[in-house]
Structure 1
């Protein structure tokens, strides 16, 4: 807990993180309006001439969004997706000899040197660069062949929230257009209203269970793996809480060994078969008397979760999580807007 009286008396609704995360619904509405035609045209282009492989370029929360995009593209379209290692271009100065044909770069600021070097290497090899970026004046935006502004608006809290959600929404719409999936396209169109509902879900049980925690696991699978990774990062950033994100399939290997009575777990279970794997893992944790916080789109979990298209459910869950993480940070006597050792733009080389 902090000795700073201003932080100690802060309300959870007084933070920038709370205000900005609450804007996700409006931000996604702007994203769809601004990029609907662009993504429809890109989807038609990709259907006519599918790339052999897609390469994503991102770090941090944006790389978690790229994981979500990987599952969408590989399941809906069948094209392999690989994550570029930015240091290959920025540190080793290696060139790309096989063009990906499609490079998806994701960034809030669009200014990190290693990200830009990686994108430049892909473009030099002949890849078509799609940039999902919040700052349309950035070098990444200028380098794009197809620019997709995230339309999140100013985000002053160090913890990215609405820009992450808009990146997920953009990837969902891109994949839906590429696959010609009318069901998913319709689900994306309803996402702004559903996000508003997700923001109202009561996750106070999570705050109460984790206020004195020191370590925990966060698990998901399939479309939900990306938000497990993101939630673990946010718990580190905003709550100074050691959290590790795992696939529900991987957590049963080495990580399960350290789980004993009272060990906390957040589990994100979608309504599809991947979610079944999460529910099975959560049940196994329960037999070890772990403290399981289950967000289950099929209902009955500790944390309320909205049912929707399985690809959309993780976006709704992370919106509910953000509100809880902000409240947990304040309850632990911290300032979620300004973590001690972090800055808003990370300029890695």
Structure 2
């Protein structure tokens, strides 16, 4: 079907559905990722820095939790403008610099990576374009293997980036990717079983004017990605907060006119969301809980996903989030494949 005759949301719909296959393909490349991990382990970095933009920035936030929890490395998120605008050149000897970019063509990330390598960093590019300038600039590269992504809103490339980062960081600690092995099957089950609950959420929130997204721990990354997806596809005024930050001031702006999307997967992060959602519900907000622990929290609506290890939960819980953004965009008369005023193109091959 040509671009002119494509139905609204057709590309985003197809790419959401591809994700179980993408996960299986990526898991089949575990040995290649483990080779890069072995080089990182040999160099024994003293801390890590993450450079990213947009959806990749949310994937980097997920990686921050993985690095701090699984490897117990201190981690920082790079502000690219300190290099590109201000010319800062800190000493990065014995530092791991992970540059995350689906296209691998971001000029500022390229400059950060080149500068970091000259300053002594161990540079690793995580991209969906193996022959990109970013891969050429970095010492090592990890290919997320999501294939061409034609939808404007990143879906399969985002979740594949999460999985690639998990496999890489888990392998640095000597892991075999055991917790990720079932993800293709669990992802397909998530897509097969959450359709009705997502459709009901679309009906509930189709007239919402503003939404807060929130999560704790690993799921903080999904909350951030959810706000971006809702804003860029449905034009919702969506703001993401960690559950802890939400209670430190912003909760005062939550009321009965506020829709709250809460990520609640089983584990320490999901458990920590109980008090957050109790406080939010007392303010009269309409809460949609998404995750494997959705049934265990106070919420107006729930979208459950299969159980898995907490450290890989963001790979699954983002799937109904993507479908919710897609459904809301269509219900509100938009086309998420051609959002108005959005010029972003993810350059992948």
TM-score scaled by length of structure 1: 0.91
State how far apart, in whole Å, the 2-side matches of 1:246 and 1:25 are. 29
State how far apart, in whole Å, the 2-side matches of 1:345 and 1:145 are. 26
Per-residue deviation, 1:112: 1.4
Per-residue deviation, 1:27: 1.2
Secondary structure of 1:105 counterpart? strand
1:115 aligns with 2:109: yes
Question: In the alignment, what sits opposite 2:15?
Answer: 20
1:78 aligns with 2:78: no
Question: In the alignment, what sits opposite 2:168?
Answer: 174
1:242 aligns with 2:234: no
Question: In the alignment, what sits opposite 1:227?
Answer: 222
1:61-83 deviation digits (Å, cap 9, x = unpaired): 00100000000110011001111
Per-residue deviation, 1:298: 2.6
Structure 1 stretches of 5 or more lacking a match?
Answer: 1-5
Question: In the alignment, what sits opposite 1:139?
Answer: 133
Contact 1:99/1:122 (8 A) holds in 2: no
Per-residue deviation, 1:187: 1.8
Contact 1:53/1:81 (8 A) holds in 2: yes
Question: In the alignment, what sits opposite 1:345?
Answer: 345
State how far apart, in whole Å, the 2-side matches of 1:126 and 1:44 are. 19
Q: How many residues align?
A: 336
Contact 1:55/1:100 (8 A) holds in 2: no
Contact 1:88/1:118 (8 A) holds in 2: no
Contact 1:270/1:297 (8 A) holds in 2: yes
Aligned match for 2:212, one of 213, 217, 227: 217
Secondary structure of 1:340 counterpart? coil
Change in Cα spacing, 1:149 to 1:324, as seen in structure 2 (3 Å) is same
Question: In the alignment, what sits opposite 1:208?
Answer: 203
State how far apart, in whole Å, the 1-side matches of 2:344 and 2:17 are. 19
Structure 2 stretches of 5 or more lacking a match?
Answer: none
Question: In the alignment, what sits opposite 2:96?
Answer: 102
Aligned match for 2:34, one of 32, 35, 40: 40
Secondary structure of 2:310 counterpart? coil
Secondary structure of 2:88 counterpart? coil
Question: In the alignment, what sits opposite 2:184?
Answer: 192
TM-score scaled by length of structure 2: 0.91
1:90 aligns with 2:84: yes
State how far apart, in whole Å, the 2-side matches of 1:143 and 1:18 are. 34
Per-residue deviation, 1:32: 2.1
State how far apart, in whole Å, the 2-side matches of 1:205 and 1:219 are. 20
State how far apart, in whole Å, the 2-side matches of 1:180 and 1:98 are. 25
Contact 1:62/1:106 (8 A) holds in 2: yes
Contact 1:72/1:311 (8 A) holds in 2: yes
CA RMSD of aligned residues (A): 2.0
Secondary structure of 1:37 counterpart? helix
Per-residue deviation, 1:324: 1.7
Contact 1:43/1:174 (8 A) holds in 2: yes
Secondary structure of 1:217 counterpart? strand
Per-residue deviation, 1:188: 1.1
40-49 or 22-31, larger mean C-alpha shift: 40-49
1:271 aligns with 2:266: yes
Secondary structure of 1:271 counterpart? coil
State how far apart, in whole Å, the 2-side matches of 1:48 and 1:346 are. 33
225-234 or 102-111, larger mean C-alpha shift: 102-111
Per-residue deviation, 1:340: 1.5
Per-residue deviation, 1:144: 2.4
State how far apart, in whole Å, the 1-side matches of 2:186 and 2:138 are. 31
Per-residue deviation, 1:117: 0.8
